[in-house]
Structure 1
C-alpha cells in the first residue's frame, strides 16, 4: 500500500511538471521585484531601469539557453533589452516580448510588470523543452512615451536587428498588460461603441489582437490559444488605425514585415489605473494571469 501511494505521488508530480502550470507565487515575486525600485523605472531613471534589467537577466540565467544584453544609446544614456534564446540557433524563431519600463512616475504593475512577470514565468515553463524552432524571449525598454512610436523603442531596435540579420521569424507575441480582470457588467469599454454588442460589457476575458492581413502565424496561434485557454478569449482583427490595436511592441515587428500579435487585458479600455500611481499589484488577479501564461505556454508547444 505504501509503495502504491509513493507511485501515485510520483505520477501526480510528473503530470504536474509536464502540465507546466504557471506559479502564482512566482508571478507575485516577480511583480514585487519589478515594481519595487526606489525610483520609477522610466526613461529618466536609468538606474531603476538597470536594476530591473539586472533582475530579469539573473532570472533568465537560471534557465537553459543563451542570455544577452542588447545595449543602445539614446540622448547620451544607455538602455538595454534583455534576451533569452532557447532552441536551435539557426532555426526559424518565435519572438515573445514584454516591456519593463513605465510612463511617468508610477509603479506600472499591470503596465507592464504583469507582462514581464508572465514572460519570466513562460521562460521557466519552456526551458526544459526541446522544440524544433528557436524562441527568443525579450524584455524591452523604452516602449513608453516620450519614445513610443520612435526608433528608440527597444522593440524597434530588436526588430530592426532581426531584419538586418535576415532572420527567419515565425511570428511575434507581445505580452501587454495581462493582469486586470473584472466580472461586473459595464467594466469593459471599446474604441467603437457597437463592439460592446459583440464582445460584451464584462472585463473578464483576455484579448488576442491582430491587424488585418497578419499572416498564417496569427491564425494558427489564435486557434491554439482558444483551444488551450482556461479563461475566456476574445479575438480582435482590425485595421491598425483603430485606437489601441497597435499600442505596444508588436507594432515594430509589423513595421519590418513580421507577423505579430498582442495578448492583453485591453489596457485603458478596462483598467482605470492605466498610467496612474494606483497601478499597483493589489489591483491584479494572479490566478487569471497565470491562466493567460499557461495558454501561451501550451499554444507554443502546439505550434
Structure 2
C-alpha cells in the first residue's frame, strides 16, 4: 500500500470517528443546558394546581381522589406517548395504581424516574409531593420535545401510597414497582426519586439538619440536594455533577447510612432492597419546609423558578446516565 493511499484511508477513518463522536455527544456535551432547555413554568404550575385542588385530598383513604389524580397523570403521559400503563395492585380489597410511561429502547437496561402522588392526611400537598409529580411530568415532556439520543429506556413512574400509613411497608406503590422489576430480571442503571422540590428560602437559618451535619452544609434553604445511602456514591456524584452543569441552582449532596434521619424518607428506599442504585432529589422536606404535612402546604408557598432549574438539572443528569 503506498503512502498516499494510507494517509487517505487514515484521514477518512479519523473523519468517521469525529462524526460519530459529534453525533453521539454534541447534543449532550457541546451545548450547554442553559442554552438548550426551556422549562415551562406554566405547565409546572398547572400540574401542581390540579393536584392540590383535588378534593377531598388525595390520601390513601380517599380512593376516588387518588384515581382522579392518577387519571390526570395518565392523560398527561398519554400526550407524550402511547407507551403508558397503569400498574394496579391491591391492599386488602382496595385497588391502587402506579402510572408508568416508557420512552426510549424497548429492551436493555433502564432508568427509573419516580415521584409519589398521594398526600399525608387532609392537606393539599403542594410541595409534598405535587411538586415532585409536576417535575416528573415536565422532565418526561422535555425528553419528548428535546428528543435526546437515548441509549437506555426511561420509565417515568408516578407512585401511589408513599405516605403513612403505608410508608416503609410492602404496600407502597414503589415497593410494588421495584419488586416487579427484580422479578422480571430488569437491569437498572439508576432510580431517581423526586421528593419535594418546590419550597425554598433565602432566610438565614431557614435550613436545618441532623446534628452531625450542621457544620457542613449551608444554613439557607435555597438549594436542592441529592441523597443516597452508603454504596450509592457513584449515582449521587453523577446526579450532582450534571445537575450543577445543567442548571442554575446550588446542588448539595449527601451519601450516608440510611439510619441518618431523612436519607431513606421516600420511594427510593425500596430499590435498595434489590441492590438497585437509587437516590433522592429533595429540598430536604421537614428540615426546611415549615408546612410539611400541614394544611398550609399550598401552591403559593412554592418557588417555580427554582423548581424549573431543578427540572432542568435532573433532565440533564438522566440523559447522561
What TM-score results when the alignment is normalised by the length of structure 2? 0.87
Counterpart CA distance in 1 for 2:296 and 2:50 is 17
Per the TM alignment, residue 129 of structure 1 is displaced from its structure 2 partner at its CA by: 3.0
- 258-267 vs 212-221, which moves further: 212-221
**Partner-residue secondary structure (3-state), 1:271:** coil
**Partner-residue secondary structure (3-state), 2:255:** strand
Are 2:208 and 1:211 aligned?
Answer: no
Contact 1:91 1:132 in 2 (8 A): no
Q: Give the RMSD, CA atoms, in angstroms.
A: 1.6
- 215-224 vs 270-279, which moves further: 215-224
Which residue of the partner structure matches residue 181 of structure 1? 200
| 1:102 aligned to which of 119, 122, 140 | 119
Which residue of the partner structure matches residue 214 of structure 2? 196
Gaps spanning 5+ residues in structure 2: where? 1-31
Are 2:48 and 1:36 aligned?
Answer: no
Larger Rg: 2
Which residue of the partner structure matches residue 273 of structure 2? 255
Per the TM alignment, residue 75 of structure 1 is displaced from its structure 2 partner at its CA by: 2.0
Per the TM alignment, residue 48 of structure 1 is displaced from its structure 2 partner at its CA by: 0.1
Per the TM alignment, residue 196 of structure 1 is displaced from its structure 2 partner at its CA by: 2.3
The count of residues paired between Structure 1 and Structure 2 equals 288
Which residue of the partner structure matches residue 93 of structure 2? 76
Counterpart CA distance in 2 for 1:107 and 1:23 is 22
Contact 2:87 2:98 in 1 (8 A): yes
**Partner-residue secondary structure (3-state), 2:208:** coil
What TM-score results when the alignment is normalised by the length of structure 1? 0.92
Per the TM alignment, residue 77 of structure 1 is displaced from its structure 2 partner at its CA by: 0.7
Counterpart CA distance in 2 for 1:117 and 1:207 is 18
Per the TM alignment, residue 17 of structure 1 is displaced from its structure 2 partner at its CA by: 11
Contact 1:65 1:86 in 2 (8 A): no
Contact 1:116 1:175 in 2 (8 A): yes
Are 2:114 and 1:113 aligned?
Answer: no
**Partner-residue secondary structure (3-state), 1:85:** strand
Gaps spanning 5+ residues in structure 1: where? 1-14
Displacement over 6 Å in runs of 4+: 15-18
- 16-25 vs 200-209, which moves further: 16-25
Contact 2:227 2:236 in 1 (8 A): no
Per the TM alignment, residue 18 of structure 1 is displaced from its structure 2 partner at its CA by: 7.8
**Partner-residue secondary structure (3-state), 1:89:** coil
| TM alignment of 1:268-287, pairs within 5 A | 268-287=286-305
